[in-house]
Amino acid sequence: MKTTIETRDLSKRFGPHTAVDRITLSVYQGEIFGFLGANGAGKTTAIRMLCGLLEPTSGSGTVAGFDIIRQTDRIRSRIGYMSQKFSLYSDLRVIDNLRLYGSLYGLGKQALARRIDELSALLSLSPLHGRITGSLPWGWQQRAALACANLHRPEILFLDEPTGSVDPVARQTFWDLIQTLAAGGTTIFVTTHHMDEAENCGRISIMIDGRIAALDTPRALKERTGKPTLHEVFLHLVDPHSESLKERA
Amino acid sequence: MPYAVTIDNLRKNYAGEHALAGVSFSIAAGSLAGIIGADGAGKTTLMRILATLISADAGAASVLSYDVNTQHRKIRAAIGYMPQKFSLYEDLTVWENLLFFADVFGVIGMERQRRLDRLMAFSRLGQAQDRRAGRLSGGMKQKLALSCALIHTPRLLILDEPTTGVDPVSRNEFWRILKDLQRDGITIIVSTPYMDEAEYCDTVLLLHRGGVLMQSTPAQAVERYPHALFRAESRAGTVRWPARAPAPRGARFVYPSGGALHVAADPQIVNEPALLEALREVMPEIETLHRIGPRMNDVLFSCYNAAGSAGPESAPPPAPAPGHAHNPLAMIRHAISQHRKGRP
């Protein structure tokens, strides 16, 4: 298996505070890797280092084969990034957003038109090209955002809480698209607070206070902790003294 | 049974599109009511009408026996409302935010001190009281917002997705606080995208395209589940189901759930080996099939299925009617007129 993300003792300190504390992990091509952790555990800081947006204090790493300290430009052209918070220009049409992002990624006019057709077919976006992005339901906006993040054929997609506030059916549809991209060879590095989504990942890591406290397949983590769901695995690892509301009732 | 909220045929349009298309229900005093449904189903609109921030186009609603159209001052003094977007002052500290909201609601003197002490104790924000609100973690921000909504000791709490983007441990703690508040006699209305949270509620309301698709206790919803439910798994890992693939023989519908497939079948004629065989024809990696009890997530899929759609976002949305639908100026005018109506 080809490794697309690799870190060794990657750390980031802000003054006296250690946000990311010596994390070591490998992610394989085409894998859906769930990067979980409590709010404030250091996930976003780690992702920013992997995307070449933040310099590590110590440790090393490569993304798509390039060094995350010295080759950040090369990395940025090979990754896509999407989050619930930063999305598309809501007062532009879907097609305008696609063209804008395509030209920002430096795609030529014809190559861009072909790529837009390709992604629109894959994501069933064609009927919506002329619609104002902000007027669409969340799931379809997110689909358009996913298309924009994929225009330059990134090897790795970073998804930082892509599904915050949506109902389970729309999230299911979104995950189906993610799995389609992964099956096509794109590596997916995703954070989420929805533990049912994490069950869809090939492997997950759980970050606590800047460190990776567990890293394995969902099934292995459940078996090791003796918990039936990842939700309970998470509670068990992150806050061993907590009892779930169910147990308490 | 005394009701904290009763709603009769409530309607609200935004620029020609239904946000609420005739919603009726009631919420018993002292209960914890959960509102679920897709984005755009009408959850936030409904909560804003109950909080008297916007007014309905038609229909009636009473909150704590006050009319939302004529007695909004009384309602505002008696409820706590927490909007979906974090709306505290990020550059004020935890303590300063609490003092500010105490002042706004006229909570002063000894009473103020007593309430603040109590809020600090139950939210366990004491250690962070001098930290700026903008620097709190997601879970702590939501606890602070809840504390601010509680400063005037409301009898009804309206919480719009308070745990969205909050990690499982903090969500667990937040819900424990809600349960404690309920024990103190406060009625709570809370919307959530998490189906495990819906299971903690006394009553759950599922909104769909501006209407009520279901209102039930979680226990009843599970009891009335009309299908035989199975879980199809593979030890090798996640099992996928092709989008838009027709349901296999013997199944009513199939959907992915937590890395496996959930299969709803007719309880009268279900034949397990044949069902497994039919599933394996589509997805050969499926190894096991076993009967499971439905949870709220399954109830939701069943409700959407009965409503004749695979879900709110399974098909592209229809194009809006031409005209003012997306005219920003018309929307601003509309918002201003709503604002004036709300504050005569």
**Residue B318 contacts A, CB cutoff 8 Å:** no
For chain B positions 30-89, those within 8 Å of chain A (CB to CB) are: 36-41, 84
Amino acid at position B61, single letter: A
Residue B320 pLDDT greater than 60, yes or no: no
**Residue A231 contacts B, CB cutoff 8 Å:** yes
Residue A157 pLDDT greater than 60, yes or no: yes
Contacts of A202 in chain B (CB under 8 A): 237-238
Q: Which H helix or E strand runs over B328?
A: helix B328-342
Residues 6+ apart with CB under 8 A from A79: A51, A63, A64, A154, A155, A156, A157, A158
Average pLDDT of span B14-25: 90
Distance from the B142 Cα atom to the nearest Cα atom in chain A, whole angstroms: 12
* Residues in a beta bridge with B32: B188
Residue B339 pLDDT greater than 90, yes or no: no
| Strand-pair category, B17-28 with A79-83 | unpaired
> In chain B, how long is the greatest CA-to-CA distance?
73
Amino acid at position A146, single letter: L
**Which bin fits B65, alpha (ψ -120 to 50), beta or left (φ > 0)?**
left
Contacts of B204 in chain A (CB under 8 A): none
Confidence band, pLDDT 50/70/90 cuts, at residue A164: confident
Find the CB nearest A128 among B138, B316, B326.
Answer: B316
A40/B200 CB distance under 8 A: no
* Residues in a beta bridge with B188: B32, B157
A169/B310 CB distance under 8 A: yes
A165/B166 CB distance under 8 A: no
For chain A positions 67-86, those within 8 Å of chain B (CB to CB) are: 84
Residues 6+ apart with CB under 8 A from B80: B149, B150, B151, B152, B154, B156, B157, B158
Answer whether B160's CB lies under 8 Å from B191's CB. yes
Average pLDDT of span A157-186: 86
Residue A238 CB neighbours (<10 A): 23
- Rounded CA-CA distance B94/B68 in Å is 32
**Which pLDDT score is estimated for B279?**
94
**Which pLDDT score is estimated for B32?**
98
- Rounded CA-CA distance B98/B110 in Å is 15
The whole-model pTM stands at 0.86
Confidence band, pLDDT 50/70/90 cuts, at residue B324: very low
In tens, the pLDDT along B141-194 reads 999 999 999 999 999 999 999 998 888 988 998 999 999 999 999 999 999 999
Average pLDDT of span A40-45: 90
A218/B176 CB distance under 8 A: no
A176/B243 CB distance under 8 A: yes
Which stretch of A94-103, A131-140, A210-219, B69-78 has the lowest confidence by average pLDDT? A131-140
Answer whether B182's CB lies under 8 Å from B128's CB. no
Residue B5's nearest CA partner among B220, B149, B186, B268 is B186
A165/B304 CB distance under 8 A: no
Residue A84 pLDDT greater than 60, yes or no: yes
Which stretch of A58-67, A221-230, B289-298, B327-336 has the lowest confidence by average pLDDT? B327-336
Contacts of B304 in chain A (CB under 8 A): 169
**Which pLDDT score is estimated for B322?**
43
A168/B195 CB distance under 8 A: yes
Confidence band, pLDDT 50/70/90 cuts, at residue A163: confident
Residue A161's nearest CA partner among A18, A45, A34 is A34
| Strand-pair category, B187-191 with B32-36 | parallel
